[in-house]
Structure 1
Amino acid sequence: MAGKSKTRSLQVFDTELSADTVEWCPVPPSHHILACGTYQLHKGPDRAGDEDATPSRTGRLYLFEFGQKGHMSPPLTELQRLDTPAILDLKWCHVPLSEKPVLGMAAASGELQLYTLSVNQERHYSLQALSSLEVGVDRLALSLDWSTGRGDSSDVRVVCSDSAGCISALCLAEGALMPLSQWKAHDFEAWISAFSYWDTQLLYSGGDDCKLKGWDLRMGPSSPTFTSKRHSMGVCSIHSNPHQEHILATGSYDEQVLLWDGRNMQQPLSQTSLGGGVWRLKWHPTHPHLLLAACMHNDFHILHCQQAQEGSGGACPILASYILHNSLAYGADWSHLPLDEPAPCSPTTAEPKKSFMEDGGHLRIQYESPTASFDTSLEDDAGRYIPEGATSPPTSSASGQALSPDGDSPLLSFLLASCSFYDHMLHVWRWDWTPDECTGQGLAEQAAAGDKLTP
C-alpha cells in the first residue's frame, strides 16, 4: 500500500524559545501563512527557603509567509513576532470571520486569545488582537478547537480545555468571546478537547486521568455520553475526520493511535503503536485517509488509515517519517498550499544516485540575523536553490502533481511544518509520495471529486 515515499527538509528556523505548536492558515487566499507558538518555563530564584517559588511562563507568537520565490533564497520569511504568555495550542478558524482569518491561542495565563490576520495595501500580513477571555484563575489553557472543521460558518463556537480538568464551550458575539458553559470533565489536566465536525453539538475531551470522554451540549455537562479507558495513559490528542463522518483519531502518552467509529466507542477500529507519546494528530485537509502524528520522543509520522477506516481492524501503515528534529516532537500541520515545483522521483533503477556535489553543486549555509533563522541548502553553479535531498533540478508543474517515472501513478507533493521543544526548532518540509496502483486509483478518484472533499 505504501508506494514510494520521501521527506525532504526545505528550511529550519530557530524560534529561540521552546516551540510546541505550528498551524498553517486554512483560509484562502492565505494558505501561505504559517503561525508558530512557543512556551518557555522560567523557574523561580534559587534562594534558601524559596523552593516553592512560582515559576513564570513566557511565550512568543511567530507569523511567517511561505513563498516560492525561485531558487536563490529559502522559502520561509518571518513577518511578525509577538511576545505573549506561554502558548500551549494554536488553531485557525477554518472559515473567515468578518471576512478575515482568525487565529485562536490557548495560553498559560489561563486565557483564550483571538487574533485577526490583516493585510495592507502593500500585501504585508500581520496579526491584530481581537478578543480574549480568561477561562479560569490559576490554571493553564491547554488546547482549543473550532466547530468549523467542515467549512460551516453558521454557528461558530470554540472549545477549550485547561489544567484544572475543565472544559469550556464558548461562542463569538460581534468578535468577542462569550462563555456558554464550563464543567469539570477530568480529574487531572484536560490535555485536549475537540469538536465532532459532523455534529458540532458533540465534544470530545481527553485527560491525564487516562480517560477519553464524549459530551453533548444539548444534554448539558452533568454526565458524559461515554467514557473510555481504552488508552492506558493520559489522552493528549483528538481530531475528528472532516471528510468521513463518525471517524475519530485519538492519541496518548501510551504511544498508541486509536481510530474510532463515533457510533460505537466501546472498541476502536484500529490501534497503531508509534513508539512515542502522541501529542498531536492532524487529518489531511483534502485526503481523507492520511493522518499526521507528532510523537514526542519518536519524531513525526504519516499514517495511511483507509483499511482501518473500512473496518479491517489492523494497524495503520506508516507511509513516511520525518526524523530531522533533535528534541520532543510537539507541533505539526499540513499546508493547504500546493507545491508548484515538485521534486523529481527517486530513480527506479539500482544505479547509485549522483548528488549535486558530484555534479558541481556546492553547499550553502545562510544565516539571517537578527531573526536567528538559518537554512542549509544546496545550490548549483548557477546559484539556483535546490531542496535538500533532491538529485536533479526541480521541474515545473502548476498543479503540484507529476507522473512517476513509470507513468502510471501520480507523484503527490505535500507541504508540512513541524516543531520541536528543547532545541526550539521549526522545520518546513515536503513529502513526495508515489502511491501504489490501488491507492493511486483511489486518490485519482478523490482528486476528481476535489470540491466535495475540500471543507
Structure 2
Amino acid sequence: MDVAHCYLDGNVDAVEFCPHDSFHCILAASTYTLQEGDQPRRSGSISLFNVDADAGRLELSHRVETAGIFDIKWSPVGAIVGPLLAQADADGYLRLHHLECCSDGSAAGEQSDALLDAGNFLKEVTSKQVSSSMCLCTDWNPSATSISVGLSDGSVSIICLLDSKLEIQQEWKAHEFELWATSFDTHQPQLLYTGSDDCKFSCWDLRDCPSNLAFQNSKIHKMGICCITKSPSDPHTLFTGSYDEYLRVWDVRSISKPVNETSICLGGGVWRIKHHPSLPGLVLAACMHNGFAIVKIEGEKAEVIETYCKHESLAYGADWQRGEICQEGKRKSGVVATCSFYDRLVRIWMPKSDIVA
C-alpha cells in the first residue's frame, strides 16, 4: 500500500530510518549528482523527513548540502553516542552529523519557518578526510567506537571515534577494484567483512595491525559484491548481494561456499539488503534494475513473498521503519522507505503481505 512520495533535487541513493527510540519517525535520504562540464563536480545532500504512515505524511524537516554521498548509516542503538549519522562521500571524507531537536528557529540556523515546524535537524560534529579516493561505503561497529570505510581504490580504513574526534586507526589495500561493501560482524566485532568489484568476499581480523585476512572467497560471486550484512538474530548467518543478481546466505562457520547453497536470484543486481527490525529471516532487498523485493528465509528455503516496482529508475536505497503499527487488529510488518536514482524519488509504502509476528 502506497503511503506517500517525494521528489528530491538530486539523484537519491540511500534511505535510512533512525533506529533510536523517540526518533523512529525520522528518515534520512542522501543524494549523489555529477555536475558535468569543464570542471566536473560531485554534489549531494542529506534530507531529513518526518514520516507518519497513519496520516500518509512524508514531511521534509531539514536539508544539508554536501559533497556527493555514496552511503549513510545511523549509529547503532545501545551505544553511548547517538543518534549520529555517518556520511561517506565523493570528496574522500567521513562526516558525522548529530540529530538535534530545537524548539525555535534560532537553534537550527538558516532553516525556513516551514521546515522548523518539525523540530529535528542535523549538526555536523566532526569530519575526517580518509583518502584522496572516494568513500563508497561505511559501517559502525556495535559499540559505535569505530567506523569502517570502503574506498574506490580498493582500500579499507578503520576510523576510531573518541571524544567527538575521528582518527584513522588502520588502513590497508583490501581489494583490486572499488570496495562497495564493508560490514562489521555484530556478534564478533573484531571481524570485518568486505566485498568488491573484484568479486572477492573477504573477512579480516582487526585484532592484528595491519589486519590479517581470515578468509577469502573468490569463486561464488560471478560479478562484483554490492552489499554484506550479518543476521541480527543468528550469529552464524550472513547475507551478500551481488551484481550477478543473487542474494546469498552464508554460514560463517563454513565460508568456502554458501550454506547448503541457499541462494535466490532476485534479478536486476542486489544493491542493498536490510533485515526486518523484529521478524527474523525477513529481508528487504533493493534490486537495481528490478525494483524491490521482500524475501523470507527459513532454513534452506528462500522465497520472494512480495515485490515493489513503482520506481522507474535504479533501485538503490531501502529500509524498514522501526516499531510496528496496528491495522485492523493485526500486528503488521511496518513501513518501508525506498528510493531510486535518476528519477530522484523517495517512496513510503506498506507491504501487502500479511506478515504477522
**TM-score between both structures, scaled by the size of structure 2:** 0.91
Q: Which residue of 1 aligns with 2:24?
A: 31
**Higher share in strand:** 2
Q: How many residues align?
A: 341
Gaps of 5+ in 2: 105-117
Distance 1:432 1:277 in 2: 23
Q: Deviations over 1:185-211 (max 9, x none)?
A: 000101110000000000000001111
CA distance in 2 between partners of 1:304 and 1:69 (Å): 26
How big is each residue's C-alpha offset from its partner over 1:214-266, in whole Å with a ceiling of 9 and x where there is no partner?
A: 00001334541111121011111001111111211001111111110111101
The one-letter code sitting in structure 2 at the alignment partner of 1:427 is R
From 423, 431, 435, the counterpart of 2:351? 431
1:81-92 counterparts in 2 under 5 A? 81-92=63-74
Match of 1:48 in 2: none
Alignment of 1:46-445 (within 5 A): 55-67=40-52, 70=55, 74-95=56-77, 100-121=82-103, 124-137=119-132, 139-148=133-142, 153=143, 156-221=145-210, 223-229=212-218, 230-269=220-259, 270-307=262-299, 312=300, 314=301, 316-340=302-326, 342=327, 395=328, 402-403=329-330, 412-435=332-355, 443=357
Q: Structure 1's 68 and 42: CA in aligned 2 closer, same or farther, altered over 3 A?
A: closer
Task: Report how far residue 267 of structure 1 moved.
Answer: 1.2
- 1:271 Cα deviation (Å)? 1.1
Task: Give unmatched runs, 5+ long, in structure 1.
Answer: 1-7, 46-53, 343-394, 396-401, 404-410, 444-455
- Is 1:215–1:221's contact at 8 Å kept on the other side of the alignment? no
The whole-number CA distance in structure 1 between the counterparts of 2:234 and 2:256 is 19
Q: Give the number of the structure with larger relative contact order, counting CA–CA contacts within 8 Å between residues 6 or more apart.
A: 1
Deviates more, 1:268-277 or 1:325-334: 268-277
Identity of aligned residues (%): 38
* 8 Å Cα contact 1:279-1:295 kept in structure 2: yes
Can you list the C-alpha shifts for 1:96-121, whole angstroms capped at 9, x where unaligned? 66664100011011001100001123
TM-fit CA distance, 1:156? 2.2
3-state DSSP class of the match of 1:321?
A: strand
Which digits, 9 at most, give the CA deviation of each residue in 1:22-41, with x for residues without a partner? 00000001000000000001
1:124-161 superposed Cα distances (whole Å, 9 cap, x missing partner): 11100011111111x1100011112xxxx3x6211110
| Aligned partners of 2:139 and 2:147 also within 8 Å | yes
Q: Is the 8 A contact 1:145 1:160 kept in 2?
A: yes
Q: RMSD of the TM alignment (CA)? A: 1.7
Given that 2:204 and 2:211 are in contact with CA atoms closer than 8 Å, whether structure 1 keeps it comes out as no
Instruction: Measure the CA separation in 2 of the matches of 1:121 and 1:41.
Output: 36
TM-score where L is the length of structure 1: 0.72
Aligned partner of residue 224 in structure 1, secondary structure = strand
Is the 1:216–1:225 contact (alpha carbons within 8 Å) kept by the matching residues of 2?
Answer: yes
Query: In 1, distance between residues paired with 2:212 and 2:298?
Result: 33
1:16: how far off? 2.0
Partner of 1:385: none
Distance (Å, rounded) in 1 between the aligned partners of 2:244 and 2:211: 28
Looking at structure 1, the residues matched to 208 and 58 of structure 2 have their Cα atoms a distance apart, in angstroms, of 46
Matched residues in 2 for 1:339 and 1:197: separation? 27
Residue by residue, what CA displacement relative to the aligned partner does 1:399-451 show, whole Å, maximum 9, x if unpaired? Answer: xxx34xxxxxxx5242010100011100011114325xxxx6xx3xxxxxxxx
